[in-house]
Structure 1
Amino acid sequence: MPKLKIILLYIGITFLSACSSVYDKHVQWQPVKPDSFPVVTAIGYAPISLQKSEHETQRMLMAIKASKLAAYAELAEQVYGQQVATNMTMGDLLLEDNQLKASVQGVIRGAKVIKSYPVGDTYATEMAIDFKDVYDIYLASMRKQEIKDVTYY
């Protein structure tokens, strides 16, 4: 009889411990660094004489700003891609209307102006974005992480 009690006690403990297999745990994360970092470059252009100002100096400053914004747009296009939408209308198997729309949207961080210079009546701005810098900015704000250690309680 005592042997039966020990066996029943052992079975009972086994079932109770099997039901309590849910543990609290603490997970530590560490960042994952990519193997390589590309450098993306872009050039933006803006006409000087077509800027809306009567003063030549102000037209030049406006063209500088516009060329920089154009370079930012080109960087965003390279990093995020470009969304293209098209709409065609046909009647009697003839193309009546063809519309094409393109847009780009994104946030560019860490871009640097390499050169900004006039070329005739156009202002050009060369920019580059080193993804090593983007990675460092990313780590400072939103860390990509992997499991380093798990501690069960």
Structure 2
Amino acid sequence: MGNKRKVNKSNSRYLVITTVLGFFLMGCTSVFDKHVEWETVAPESYPVILAIGYAPISVQKGASESSKMLMALKASKLDAYRELTEQVYGQKVEGGQSLASLVIENTHLNSSVQGVIRGAKVVKSYPVGDDTYATELELDFKLVNDIYLSTARPKRVKKVHYY
């Protein structure tokens, strides 16, 4: 009798192992028995966002007024790009406070923006008042999407054929 039980335990272990192995192999082979068709996905609408950057003229480094104006023009363009980047990617804000004897000793707040802007175009640059220069940028997401599609080719499942 004792010998018969040992054989049954061995057979049941063998049965469990082969069943698990069989299910595993069936799962692996089903991956190879299908064909997936993909299609690209286009958004329903494309927003256009605007940004304006400003820069003072008088504090720019330059030997003449015209060189200071050119530097302010470049600085206002960079400020407009920063504004676009904030709108597209958001702004990271970090802050903190330190206490000593339950009295606030120090408070600080830092912010940063990081991202890549492609496809923006300058709408216009112009002086504002006597000492400021402004630049307006426009970012059309239809153009951004076209640039993205030319490099990334995003896809979704169109159809799956099982064999």
Give the TM-score category using the shorter length: 0.7 to 0.9
- Corresponding residue pairs, total: 137
Aligned AA (1:122): T
Partners of 1:28 and 1:122 lie apart in 2 by 56
1:142 maps to a residue whose letter is: A
CA distance in 2, matches of 1:73, 1:88: 27
1:122-146 Cα distance to aligned partner (Å, 9 max, x none)? 0000111111111111111112211
**2:139 corresponding residue in structure 1:** 129
Q: Cα gap change, 1:21/1:67 in structure 2, threshold over 3 Å: closer, same or farther?
A: closer
Q: TM-score, normalised by structure 1?
A: 0.81
Instruction: Map 1:41-80; keep pairs closer than 5 Å.
Output: 41-80=50-89
Of 103, 106, 125, the match for 1:97: 106
Residues 22, 93 of structure 1: alpha-carbon distance in 2 compared, 3 angstrom cutoff: closer
1:145 aligns with 2:139: no
Deviation string 1:53-107 (CA, Å, 9 cap, x unpaired) is: 1111111111111100000000000110000001101122221100100000000
Q: Which letter does structure 1 place at the counterpart of 2:152?
A: M
Question: CA separation in 2, counterparts of 1:22 and 1:76?
Answer: 42
Normalising by the residue count of structure 2, what TM-score does the alignment of the two structures yield?
0.77
Percent identity, please: 59
Q: State the secondary structure of the residue aligned to 1:73.
A: helix
Separation in 1 of the partners of 2:64 and 2:93? 38
Q: 1:21 to 1:93 in 2, by over 3 A?
A: closer
What is the CA RMSD across the aligned residues, in angstroms? 1.9
Query: Which secondary structure does the structure 1 equivalent of 2:117 belong to?
Result: coil
Contact 1:47 1:123 in 2 (8 A): yes
Moved over 6 A (4+): none
Aligned-partner Cα distance in 2 for 1:24–1:52: 68
Higher helix fraction (1 or 2): 2
The 2-side partners of 1:105 and 1:24 are apart by: 44
Structure 2: give runs of 5+ residues left out of the alignment.
Answer: 1-21
Equivalent residues of 1:30, 1:147 under 8 A apart: yes
Q: Once the 2 structures are TM-superposed, how far is the Cα of residue 24 of structure 1 from its aligned partner?
A: 4.5
